[in-house]
Amino acid sequence: MTETTAPAAQSDARARRNVIVLVAAQAIMGAQMPMIFTIGGLAGQTLAANACWATLPISMIVLGSMLSATPLAAFMQRFGRRAGFVLSCAGGTAGAVIGAMGLMQGSFALFLLGSLLTGLYMSGQGFYRFAAADTASPEFRPKAISYVMAGGLVAAVLGPQLVKVTADSMVVPFLGTYLAVIALNLIGMVVFLALDIPKPPQPQAGAPVGRSRMELLRSPVIAVSVICATVSYALMNLVMTSSPLAVVGCGFTTGDAANVVSAHVLAMYAPSFFTGHLIARYGAPRIVTLGLVILAGSGAVAMMGVELEHFFVSMILLGLGWNFGFIGATAMLADHHSPEERGRVQGMNDLIVFGGVFAASLSSGALMNCVGSDAQTGWQLVNLAMLPFLVLAGGALIWLAGRPRAA
């Protein structure tokens, strides 16, 4: 026992140091995402000529993340994680600067451009979980991923509290929030100086290059992992994007909306302290299945009413379901590719995931403000839209479980 555990513990010393850095990054820079997702739709509603486009700024963030995922993965494969994460913070800074200019000038187009650049930061944050696995042993890997995701607990508290302090701190609504986002990204560039992940070795002539993207997608486990990660993240985004609009539209305050988002983000990351242990004990597919069931429960609660307690319970369940579904799918993916395939499979995964999230966030505003006749009807339509995608992901898991074990 000591012969096998001692080398593993020693090999994970660097991984544990990197996890500390990545947890700090998730906690500090990660706070900007609940900040922007809380006020993005509300700011868009004041700037857009048509309320149907209120959530378009959030959709543009997701689009920017989708478009930058593959190039950023390739950049990290060549120059290392540290350089890639600093670049993503630079994108977040530029996006917040341009977004602030859009607010000051009352320009929806400029605000959308800033949102698009913010997507580069969101894409970088999506790689934190993969970076946690880079230097970890197979035994420590699911725990490392889980611990880094747990850093979002601080972000869940810090982000909405900063919104409360900054949203109306200046004459231009929400301008103070975007100035705070600039500060968070500048801090992030300093935090990443402590990251110690070796650059991937450049392939030598004749060295194995791994499978192509199509070959990777033909792997049953990888295909199902991508489907489940996409469904978990897209449905979370679909509902979260509209939640501030629904809360305010049903007669509550912006502060109430921030509290609901805070509870949701806490639920997204709080289970991460033990999600890795659950995956190690019961297997990733079972944890993903549990996540999908909880997501369905979230939609059911939201359909029951629009009192403040309904919003809190449904959004907490939404966060829990996302945690189990998304982290479980990430763990499945991390165990089924070789080192030389790392950049290819991670970039492909996030391209598909954020493509789904973009479609979800774009649909969210349309369902909420245009298809629905009022805030309550729109909110119910948003939650009802979850059903076919939950069926898709659940069917994919059943198909995978029914395959011969050797396959």
Q: Is the dihedral of CA 332, 191, 152, 110 positive or negative?
A: negative
Looking at the chain, the whole-number percentage of residues with pLDDT higher than 90 is 38
User: Which token pair is 37?
Assistant: 């997702």
pLDDT digits (tens, 9 = 90+) for 149-194: 778 888 888 888 898 889 888 888 889 999 999 999 999 899 999 9
Average pLDDT estimate for 286-309: 94
Average pLDDT estimate for 124-137: 85
pLDDT digits (tens, 9 = 90+) for 322-373: 999 998 998 888 766 666 677 677 778 878 887 888 888 888 878 887 776 7
Amino acid 5: pLDDT? 43
Cα angle: 84, vertex 88, 119; to 5 degrees:
135
- Residue 136's pLDDT band, with cuts at 50, 70 and 90, is confident
Residue 238, CA distances (Å) to 114, 361, 386 in order? 21, 5, 8
Q: φ and ψ at 264, to 5 degrees? A: -65, -45
- Residue 6's pLDDT band, with cuts at 50, 70 and 90, is very low
Q: Which of 21-30, 42-51, 94-103 has the lowest mean pLDDT?
A: 42-51
Amino acid 23: pLDDT? 92
Amino acid 65: pLDDT? 85
User: Which token pair is 189?
Assistant: 């560039």
Amino acid 274: pLDDT? 83
pLDDT digits (tens, 9 = 90+) for 203-237: 666 566 667 767 777 788 888 999 999 999 999 98
Amino acid 4: pLDDT? 39
pLDDT digits (tens, 9 = 90+) for 258-284: 889 889 988 988 887 788 889 888 988
Domain ranges of the chain: 12-195+213-402
Q: How many Cβ atoms from other residues are within 10 Å of residue 299's Cβ? A: 22
Task: Answer with the residue of higher pLDDT: 304 or 368.
Answer: 304
Report d(CA 247, CA 45) in Å as an integer. Answer: 14
| Contact criterion met (CB below 8 Å) for 128 and 26 | yes
Output the average pLDDT for the chain. 85
Amino acid 370: pLDDT? 78
* Element containing residue 278 per DSSP (H, E): helix 272-282
pLDDT digits (tens, 9 = 90+) for 40-98: 878 888 888 877 787 788 889 988 988 888 889 889 888 889 999 999 999 999 999 99
Torsion of CA 284, 288, 290, 291, to 10 degrees: 140
Amino acid 208: pLDDT? 64
102, pLDDT greater than 90 = yes
| pTM of this structure | 0.73
Q: How many Cβ atoms from other residues are within 10 Å of residue 86's Cβ? A: 21
Amino acid 239: pLDDT? 93
Residue 44, CA distances (Å) to 40, 50, 194, 306, 378 in order? 6, 10, 37, 23, 17
Amino acid 324: pLDDT? 94
Report d(CA 407, CA 403) in Å as an integer. Answer: 7
18, pLDDT greater than 70 = yes
2, pLDDT greater than 60 = no
| Contact criterion met (CB below 8 Å) for 38 and 257 | yes
- State how far Cα 386 lies from the chain centre: 17
- Residue 38's pLDDT band, with cuts at 50, 70 and 90, is confident
Amino acid 24: pLDDT? 92
Report d(CA 319, CA 6) in Å as an integer. Answer: 36
Q: Is the dihedral of CA 304, 305, 309, 310 positive or negative?
A: positive
Query: What is 12-195+213-402's CATH topology?
Result: Growth Hormone; Chain: A; (1.20.1250)
How many helices and strands (H and E) does the chain possess? Answer: 19, 0
Length of the chain: 407
Task: Answer with the residue of higher pLDDT: 9 or 314.
Answer: 314
399, pLDDT greater than 80 = yes
